[in-house]
Amino acid sequence: MQINNINRRDFVKSVGVGAAGISIGGLLEPANAARAAVPDRPAPGKKPNVMIIFCDQLRNFALGCYGNKFVNTPNIDRLARNGFLFGQGISNSPVCTPARSNLMSGQYSRTCAGSRTNEMSAVPGDKNFGRNDRMKFKDPTIAEEFRKLGYKTAQIGKWHIDTRPSLLGFDESLIRDGVFTNGSFSKNEGTPYPVPGFTTDHEITSAKEFISSNKNSEKPFFLYYNIMSPHMPILDVPYKYSHMYNPKEAPLRENVWKNGVLPSDEQWFQIYMWAGAQNKKDYQPVTGKASPDFTLRELTALYYGSVTWVDDTVGEILKSLEENGLEDNTLIVFSSDHGDLLGSQHLWNKGHLYEEAIQIPMIYSWPGKIRLGSNRKQVASLIDVMPTLLDLCGGTVPGAVQGQSLAPVLYGKKDRLEQDYTFIETPHREMGIRTPAHLYGMLMNGEDTAIEDDRYQFYDLQEDPYELNNLAKTGKEPALAAGFREKLIKWDKETPRLKGIQYKPWNP
């Protein structure tokens, strides 16, 4: 399928925020974009440090570099400006555990973990670590492959993967338990210890110490650094972020209205504000309920405050690399497990086959080694991170990996790969194909054995960026629909499901 170049008008539509929230320059390539020839592989003995900065529930619509002029994200914007931004960053599984499993394995969640839900095995005393075996993740992980390349491997922050990190290739780990205030941590899967104040501060300090202590090591490092924000609870944050943005000025996406009415749900408002914090004996929220005047605008302003907290955290990490002289020899990927519906389609949280849930940031930075700029012609998904990083660092991509290396795009050799699309699975029995311009979805049966509805969703994202007109039942664009349907059915048949253990494929 031939996708024409997107002009300025179509690009504005495809970004999907109102005119008040658009910054076209954020996604255009800089005038001095490095288009000179760059090496296909790194020079021998010059392996870079590698860092994955991974957020939780951050949709790319909330970042300045992705077109949002309202939210302050100068550090992430600088990372994008000095790196390469994929405008079509997509989560293969818009829910925490499966998405993190995608990243760790380079595989779809049905293959590496089985379940498309937040399934964590009940291991006594180890509820945050996951399984004690390799019944899941039967193939090599990204950490294992970097360890083979001579890297020191470490994890910091949220884990939420159903196998303990020491079994997946990490030499060190620091796993958080709890949300943001007065949480605890387990170092190298040991006994949890409490941390006063905000857990994010402890993670920042730990990351800085790791960077500093390894700056002169003969071994390069691979650091998987997790930032839990802007995941709820978005009121359990430092005061300045919860009061940073005026709700009356916060732009909303066009698909939050139905017949002119904004969505409102007291239970979901409370979950967003206090989830995981309201039951702590030593932490009582100011109020357990939203005020009568609390609306989606207030909720969106709080979410944006958490996004700026993410940006400040990223700034601290980038500053640490600079202070230790590692900024030029560190390959960074900045991304997120999934987005946040935040009232779009009158839905909340994540897990659905809609743009707000599946669109994520996908930024690569490696000064002087990859080209600068941006790209909207190639979908870049979570399963592509592992093969891309291994390719860039001179490693071998395992045959079991289902993603593809984006190195040809990052090196400026191509603007689009032969496969410019990816596939998506959700915990609500949905599976879809996302191309640069379209989203096509089907519905599976409850047993995950057959397709129940092969004409479930079909959106032309250039003409309908807010997904207000489902073409699946209309018969419009029949040739395109048939092509997507064929690809998706073929993928479902050929992509193996995990065998050997029992798991729940879907949410109840």
H-type helices in 337-469, by residue range? Answer: 355-358, 385-392, 407-410
d(CA 283, CA 153): 35
- Assess whether pLDDT exceeds 70 at residue 4: no
Q: How many residues would you count in the chain?
A: 508
pLDDT at 255: 98
For residue 43, give both structure tokens: 């020079």
d(CA 393, CA 386): 11
Q: Are 307 and 71 in contact (CB under 8 A)?
A: yes
Mean pLDDT over the full length of the chain: 90
d(CA 150, CA 160): 26
User: Is 478 buried (19+), middle (13-18) or exposed (0-12) by CB count in 10 A?
Assistant: exposed
For residue 323, give both structure tokens: 């202070």
Place 35 in a pLDDT band, splitting at 50, 70 and 90: very low
Instruction: Kindly report the pTM of this predicted structure.
Output: 0.91
Q: Stretch 209-233: mean pLDDT, rounded?
A: 96
Q: Stretch 453-463: mean pLDDT, rounded?
A: 97
Domain assignments of the chain as residue spans, ordered by start: 43-412
pLDDT at 122: 72
pLDDT at 211: 98
SS3 content of the chain, % helix, strand, coil (to 5): 30, 20, 50
pLDDT tens across 295-313, in order? 999 999 999 999 999 999 9
For the domain made up of 43-412, give the CATH fold: Alkaline Phosphatase, subunit A (3.40.720)
Place 43 in a pLDDT band, splitting at 50, 70 and 90: low
pLDDT tens across 126-160, in order? 668 999 999 999 999 999 999 999 999 999 999 99
Q: Stretch 170-174: mean pLDDT, rounded?
A: 98
Place 276 in a pLDDT band, splitting at 50, 70 and 90: low
